[in-house]
């Protein structure tokens, strides 16, 4: 009996150890899933930052909105009353006929008042939107600003650490100041999953941080241009990106411009946003700022932002160049004719 008891105890101990092992495996599996989720979340956040330019905005048809008809006002309908009267006609009892009809009439009136209230709101929205559309088509600066404030298509950028301010120069040109916050937006660490299923956290290399920040900023610039061109009938936008830096003279954090770019609607529409590299795209456009971060300070080189006056000078230079080319072509034609005459 003692031997049997010891054997049972040994079996119980063995079973206990087996259960403990299984519990540890389950706990380990749970920890592995948690680690995998943490790394996937980290990688997804990076994907969101680096793909912000891929979001396509739906274009606003302001001509259609300006020409749209107002909503039709509701009509008082008596379908509840008619239904009640029909039921009373086929009913053998006529008790409570007046009360039932009165209740049906009250229900019809309530439905009409509800529809009238909804119509009032819908009509006010239509009127405001129709007037705004007409003002936008006239190129009014205030209408552009109202549309940007009212429909604000930049919520995603605000959520990931960027703020914007707009200036309307004319009906065809808008300027935007884009404030970025790299310290809060771009992660300073790299998270990976080790072979043992644990999260490994390392300091992000400076070069990798710069690459991510470059593509993020350039992606935001492209996204802003896409949203503005979809919302407003402008042909060109100037976007200047600002970054925070520590002013050692005052000890305060200030903002300075480090990238300024001019984007034309026609050029932007030719881009394949699913395959382009944001930094390469911006560097291929008229811009100031090379996105080279100083190794000493860890900051970008600051620049003087582009202005509408710079664009006017560029247009004058382009016009002078075209005039020169026309003169050269005319002179070549004259020389060719003169040579042909001498040859004869």
> Per-residue pLDDT for the chain (344 aa), expressed as one digit of tens each?
666 666 655 666 676 677 777 777 766 667 788 888 888 888 888 888 888 898 888 899 999 999 999 999 998 888 888 888 888 777 766 666 778 888 888 888 999 999 999 999 999 999 999 999 999 999 999 999 999 988 888 877 776 667 889 999 999 999 999 988 766 778 889 999 888 888 899 999 888 888 888 899 899 999 999 999 999 999 999 999 988 777 778 888 788 889 999 999 999 999 999 899 999 999 999 999 887 765 555 567 888 999 988 876 555 544 455 566 666 667 767 777 777 777 76
First to last CA, the chain: 135
Q: How far is CA 338 from the centre of its chain?
A: 61
**Rounded CA separation 337/343 (Å):** 10
CB of 273 closer than 8 Å to CB of 222: yes
Taking the C-alpha atoms of residue 238 and residue 174, their distance in angstroms, rounded to an integer, is 6
The answer to whether residues 53 and 226 touch, using CB atoms and an 8 Å cutoff, is: yes
Q: What's the gap between Cα 188 and its chain centre?
A: 24
Distance of CA 103 to the CA centre of its chain: 52
Q: Give the tens place of pLDDT for each residue, 278-328.
A: 999 999 999 998 877 655 555 678 889 999 888 765 555 444 555 666 666
Residue (of 176, 155, 173) closest to 165 by Cα position = 176
* pTM of structure: 0.73
**Alpha carbon distances (Å) from 215 to 82, 97, 211, 244:** 67, 75, 6, 17
Residues 243, 258: Cα–Cα separation, whole Å = 7
DSSP H helices, the chain, are 2-50, 62-67, 79-90, 97-137, 141-151, 155-159, 182-185, 206-231, 265-269, 278-283, 308-343
């Amino acid at each position: 009996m003692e031997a049997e008891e010891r054997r049972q105890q040994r079996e119980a101990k063995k079973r206990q150890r087996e259960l403990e092992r299984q519990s540890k495996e389950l706990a380990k599996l749970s920890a592995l899933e948690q680690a995998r989720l943490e790394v996937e979340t980290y990688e997804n956040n990076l994907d969101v930052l680096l793909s912000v330019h891929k979001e396509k905005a739906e274009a606003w048809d302001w001509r259609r909105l300006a020409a749209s008809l107002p909503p039709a006002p509701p009509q008082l309908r008596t379908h509840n009353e008619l239904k009640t009267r029909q039921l009373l006609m086929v009913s053998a009892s006529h008790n409570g006929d007046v009360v039932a009809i009165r209740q049906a009439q009250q229900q019809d009136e309530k439905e009409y008042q509800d529809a009238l209230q909804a119509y009032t709101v819908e009509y006010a929205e239509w009127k405001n939107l129709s007037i705004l559309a007409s003002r936008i088509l006239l190129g009014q600066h205030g209408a552009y600003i109202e549309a940007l404030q009212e429909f604000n298509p930049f919520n995603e950028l605000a959520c990931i650490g960027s703020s914007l301010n707009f200036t309307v120069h004319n009906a065809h040109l808008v300027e935007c100041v884009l404030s970025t916050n790299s310290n809060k937006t771009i992660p300073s660490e790299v998270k990976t999953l080790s072979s043992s299923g644990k999260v490994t956290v390392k300091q992000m290399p400076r070069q990798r941080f710069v690459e991510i920040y470059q593509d993020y900023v350039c992606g935001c610039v492209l996204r802003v241009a896409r949203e503005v061109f979809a919302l407003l009938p402008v042909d060109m936008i100037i976007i200047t990106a600002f970054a925070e830096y520590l002013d050692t003279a005052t000890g305060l954090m200030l903002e300075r411009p480090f990238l300024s770019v001019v984007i034309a609607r026609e050029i932007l529409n030719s881009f394949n946003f699913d395959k382009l590299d944001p930094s390469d795209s911006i560097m291929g456009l008229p811009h100031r700022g090379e996105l080279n971060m100083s190794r000493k300070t860890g900051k970008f080189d600051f620049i003087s932002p582009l202005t509408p006056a710079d664009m006017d000078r560029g247009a004058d230079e382009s016009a002078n160049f075209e005039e020169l080319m026309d003169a050269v072509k005319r002179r070549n034609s004259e020389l060719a004719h003169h040579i042909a005459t001498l040859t004869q």
